[in-house]
Copies of this chain bind each other. A is one copy, B any other.
Amino acid sequence: MNDAADRRIRAQDQSANTAEFGAQFEAWRQRMEYALAARLPQPDKVPARLHEAMRYSVLGGGKRIRPALLFATARTLGLSEDDVEAAACAIELVHVYSLVHDDLPAMDNDDLRRGRPTCHKAYDEATALLVGDALQPLAFQLLASDPKLPASPAIRLRLIDMLAQAIGTFGMAGGQAIDLAVQGMRLDIGQVEDMHARKTGAVIRASVLMAAECAPPLDANLYAALTRFATAVGLAFQIQDDLLDVTGDALTLGKATGADSERAKPTYPAVVGIPASQQRVRLLHNQAVNALAPFGDRAESLRSLAHWLLSRQY
């Protein structure tokens, strides 16, 4: 069977599986709501306002895409959701911290997030700063000592190291810094891809690879295949995000659109245009799906998730 025929058949399978996957995705989302609520500090404990603001920011919204990547990878590798739930919480907590800080006036100055006032609007700037500052150590604490994470000390350390690298200056925080530095500048597409790889790609990739770390050691080829999948999805996801900022509507997205061009951010569509960006998402999508081939049917969840992520409208 040649590649094109193979892709067509897989596309049909995906379409048939999309409704079923939608239910799975929603079940994971609900699971995360409980999992996160149980791990966040209670609002009746001092400092109550900070704890409330942390819960406001983390709970009651969010697609939980990164946790879904952990769960789908777990399935692919024969693990259960329980095996990676604590790691999924850690990843989601650092994701939310990054949103809360990015929304601050000194950064993107956004008033709306997930259809609600951003943390510094609902509370105040100092509280939003502390929410982000306190979500970070909570994430590391879960990886170090959450009793539901069935990982050896050595594996926990690997997870901590991976998360720390994914959100540090060669990952998310570095991507943010580049994003700030290049506003109004002309970048080539390689530079935009480097920025995206750090800003969003690093944590998406860590979501997949941290789940893999929880499984019995993978054959090097399979690990490389998963890495290719995660890298392609991470980049495609951010290009899709850039596209939605241009073509989406604020109501569906739950946040303001057109913000990137207003800030003169060198996004993917700004550099190569909308059609070429859409084409790039399709190509990366294919690369991602092809990378999963060695896993066969076991990777169905990951395949459906990639399909859902890269055709999403919000």
Residue from A137, A141, A177 with most neighbouring chain B CB atoms (10 Å): A137
**Hey, which chain B residues are within 8 Å of A294, CB to CB?**
none
Report yes or no: A126 in contact with B153, Cβ–Cβ below 8 A.
no
Instruction: Report if A145-B157 is in contact (Cβ < 8 Å); known contacts: A46-B178, A138-B168.
Output: yes
Q: Find the B residue at minimum CB distance from A97.
A: B133
Report yes or no: A130 in contact with B176, Cβ–Cβ below 8 A.
yes
Among B97, B107, B129, B177, the residue within 8 A (CB) of A107 is: B129
Among B126, B140, B169, B178, the residue within 8 A (CB) of A140 is: B140
Report yes or no: B144 in contact with A157, Cβ–Cβ below 8 A.
yes
Q: Report Cα–Cα, A46/B178, bound state, in Å.
A: 8
Report yes or no: B145 in contact with A47, Cβ–Cβ below 8 A.
no
Report yes or no: A173 in contact with B140, Cβ–Cβ below 8 A.
no
**Hey, which chain B residues are within 8 Å of A169, CB to CB?**
41, 45, 47, 50-51, 54, 134, 138
Report yes or no: A164 in contact with B177, Cβ–Cβ below 8 A.
no
What is the 8 Å Cβ interface bit string for chain A, positions 172-206, against chain B (1 contact, 0 not)? 01101110110000000000001000000000000
**Hey, which chain B residues are within 8 Å of A47, CB to CB?**
169, 174, 177-178, 181
**Hey, which chain B residues are within 8 Å of A132, CB to CB?**
133
Instruction: Report if A180-B144 is in contact (Cβ < 8 Å); known contacts: A153-B154, A157-B153.
Output: no
Say yes or no: is A1 at the interface (Cβ < 8 Å to chain B): no
**Hey, which chain B residues are within 8 Å of A141, CB to CB?**
160-161, 164-165, 168
Q: Report Cα–Cα, A46/B175, bound state, in Å.
A: 9
Say yes or no: is A127 at the interface (Cβ < 8 Å to chain B): yes
Within 8 A of B (CB), among A73-109: 97, 101, 104, 106-107
**Hey, which chain B residues are within 8 Å of A178, CB to CB?**
46-47
Q: How far is the CB of A147 from chain B (nearest CB, A)?
A: 12
Q: Find the B residue at minimum CB distance from A50.
A: B177
Which 3 pairs, one residue from A and one from B, show the smallest C-beta to C-beta distance?
A153-B153, A106-B125, A141-B164
Report yes or no: A168 in contact with B49, Cβ–Cβ below 8 A.
no
Q: How far is the CB of A96 from chain B (nearest CB, A)?
A: 13
**Hey, which chain B residues are within 8 Å of A133, CB to CB?**
97, 101, 132, 136, 167, 173, 176
Q: Report Cα–Cα, A46/B195, bound state, in Å.
A: 10
**7 more A-B residue pairs beyond the given contacts A137-B168, A156-B157, with a C-beta to C-beta distance below 8 A:** A130-B180, A134-B174, A137-B164, A137-B165, A141-B160, A143-B160, A153-B154
